[in-house]
Amino acid sequence: MNWRLTAACRDLDPDVFFPIGTGGMSLVQIAEAKTVCRRCPVAEQCLAWAVGDGRVEGIWGGTTENERRAMRLREDLGS
């Protein structure tokens, strides 16, 4: 978990990465979080951790929980 030390979100408000709901203001929050993730030097590690851990809430590695769920499903179908 050392990669967290250089995370772009390290000193930001964590609420941005945990939007409530899937519409309205949460869409703005999701877009803001993804903008931060795009410039994060450890996005790849973060995403791998979130997918591997089965983390279901929040934005991790530039993905929403639904996007990660779809990734896991694709991986399961491919194996």
Binding residue positions? 9, 37, 40, 46
Bind-site residues for [4Fe-4S] cluster: 9, 37, 40, 46
Give the other-Cβ count within 10 Å of 34's Cβ.
Answer: 16
Q: How far is the CB of 69 from ligand SF4 (least distance, A)?
A: 17
Beta carbons within 8 Å of 22's beta carbon, 6+ residues apart = 66
Choose among 1, 18, 62: nearest CA to 36: 62
Q: How far is the CB of 79 from ligand SF4 (least distance, A)?
A: 25
**In the complex with ligand SF4, which residue's Cβ is closer, 54 or 78?**
54
